[in-house]
Amino acid sequence: MASVSVTLEKIVSLCKRRGFVYPSSEIYSGLNGVYDFGPLGALLKQNIKNAWLEQMMSFKEEVVFVDGAILGAPEVWKASGHVDNFSDPLVDCLSCKKRFRADEFKLEDGCPNCGAKTWTDVRQFKLMFQTQLGAVADENSIAYLRPETAQAIFVNFKNVISSYRVKVPFGIAQIGKAFRNEITPKQFLFRMREFEQMEMEFFCKGEEADKFFELWVARRVEFFKSIGLNSEKIRTRAHATDELAHYAKGCFDVEYNFPFGWKELEGIANRTNFDLSQHSKFAGKELAVFDEETKTSYVPHVVECSVGVDRLFLTLLFDSYYEDEVEGEPRIVLRLHPKMAPITAAILPLTNKLREQSEKVFFDLKKLGFRIQYDTSGSIGKRYRRQDEVGTPICFTFDFESLEDGCVTARNRDTLQQERVAIDQLPAYLNNLLGK
């Protein structure tokens, strides 16, 4: 019987046990809100990023890809509003001394930790990490670690237009690290202090912004379905007016039903022309484009799609985690979409005597760029379980018959069905599985 009794604890334990995610600096007791990705985690992350970029570049409107710096000049973050506005309200319980974000619960209900109702004043806590460039630490050497990747896109808007010959409407996409000194990092990869974002800023005429906003919301929901997320656990939610960020005219969150409730997975915002106008004003540079039809200049409006790689990583694990029974034995299985699975297939020789011939199959597939694992240790059943637990969609068993008929037995992770496949057909078989 399949069950979906997934909890955060089970995911954290699986991630550690099987090399998806480790607490950062763990041998020195860890660093709060910071994580390292192990061999399988790094591959899963890469698959997420590839799928995102693939979707971004698949539409008739052009979307180009850039890679901006993490360190930014203070002026960028003054113009963007982050220096003044990017903060969370912080409060401490006077009784147990625990610290909280004051907007996450009602203070009059009492402390979530000890129940007391006495608080310090609410202070605004700045979320940006500040650092110094060069040897002299003074006001002029301040730089910030970016709290979002988007600003590198806005400040390079003119560079991209003039060097790459793109015309509005078009998008600029970026994947990269972002840093926020979150007051209470929690729920594992859900709220981290160092994380990765995939952001796309779509530039268009102001009168077309609503149309593109709607279009991108639909496209992004489609994306989540295309990488295997259960559509019943995804919904969109429009922000109420008092919830909108200082720059936004409209905002939709794509939410996922996590074990700890419906929460934001991606934010899609109609940012108006706030960002380009601000940078134009602060930098004293013209950031308008010329409209050939009307012979006038205008500052494009922006529709932004912003999702965290790590948050999506966690979502995929929650969504694909099942516990069931195979031939009377309990198993944990990640029913990841084959495109997302860190390992696409495993080669399992029935006995060590078949090492040489089965290893050749393994090396040949590896050489073609497939992500393949080779496993000889333990019973075949045990080896299946190991692969199921990390989401490998297919296991190929190499047995004595393989020497005669040039076939292996392909066993499907989800249906458990087995079929003989010719070894020379394995590349086509795997490409088909990956939708190539």
What residues make contact with ligand ATP under the rule CB under 6 A? 148, 180, 182, 191-192, 195, 197, 264-267, 306-308, 310-311
Minimum CB separation from ligand ATP for residue 310, in Å? Answer: 5
Minimum CB separation from ligand ATP for residue 434, in Å? Answer: 26
Closer to ligand ATP by CB, 237 or 285: give it: 237
| DSSP single-letter state for residue 284 | T
CA–CA gap between residue 192 and residue 184 (Å, rounded): 9
DSSP β-ladder status, 301-308 and 321-326: unpaired
Closer to ligand ATP by CB, 197 or 409: give it: 197
Minimum CB separation from ligand ATP for residue 421, in Å? Answer: 39
Closer to ligand ATP by CB, 148 or 399: give it: 148
Q: What does the radius of gyration of the chain's CA atoms come to, in whole angstroms?
A: 25
25: left (phi over 0), alpha (psi -120 to 50) or beta: left
CA–CA gap between residue 17 and residue 385 (Å, rounded): 14
Closer to ligand ATP by CB, 79 or 251: give it: 251
Closer to ligand ATP by CB, 172 or 192: give it: 192
From first CA to last CA, the distance across the chain in angstroms is: 32
Which residue number has the CB closest to ligand ATP? 308
Minimum CB separation from ligand ATP for residue 236, in Å? Answer: 13
Minimum CB separation from ligand ATP for residue 316, in Å? Answer: 13
CA torsion, points 90, 92, 97, 98, in degrees to nearest 10?
A: -40
- Bridge partner residues of 121 (DSSP): none
Closer to ligand ATP by CB, 146 or 191: give it: 191
Closer to ligand ATP by CB, 307 or 348: give it: 307
Minimum CB separation from ligand ATP for residue 33, in Å? Answer: 8
Minimum CB separation from ligand ATP for residue 362, in Å? Answer: 36
Which is nearest to 113 in space by CA: 130, 127, 133, 93?
93
Minimum CB separation from ligand ATP for residue 266, in Å? Answer: 5
Closer to ligand ATP by CB, 105 or 164: give it: 105
Closer to ligand ATP by CB, 147 or 393: give it: 147
Q: SS in 3 state form for 76-143? A: HHHHCCHHHHCEEEEEEECCCCCEEECCCCCHHHCCCCCCCCCECCCEEEECCCEEECCCCCCHHHEE
Q: Is 31 in a helix, a strand, or coil? A: coil
Amino acid, res. 316: L
User: CA of 125: how far to CAs of 70, 83, 103, 122, 164, in Å?
Assistant: 21, 11, 12, 9, 40
Tokens 């970016």 map to which residue? 146
Minimum CB separation from ligand ATP for residue 264, in Å? Answer: 5
Minimum CB separation from ligand ATP for residue 311, in Å? Answer: 4
Closer to ligand ATP by CB, 308 or 338: give it: 308
Minimum CB separation from ligand ATP for residue 147, in Å? Answer: 8
Q: Is 315 buried (19+), middle (13-18) or exposed (0-12) by CB count in 10 A? A: buried
CA–CA gap between residue 310 and residue 33 (Å, rounded): 12
| DSSP single-letter state for residue 257 | E
Burial 151-189 (b: 16+ CB within 10 A, else e): bbbbbebbebbeeeebebbbbbbbbbebbbbbbebebbb
**Residues 301, 272: contact at Cβ < 8 Å?**
yes
Closer to ligand ATP by CB, 308 or 349: give it: 308
Closer to ligand ATP by CB, 176 or 338: give it: 176
Strands (E), 205-260: 234-238, 250-258
Minimum CB separation from ligand ATP for residue 306, in Å? Answer: 4
User: CA of 185: how far to CAs of 99, 193, 320, in Å?
Assistant: 11, 7, 24
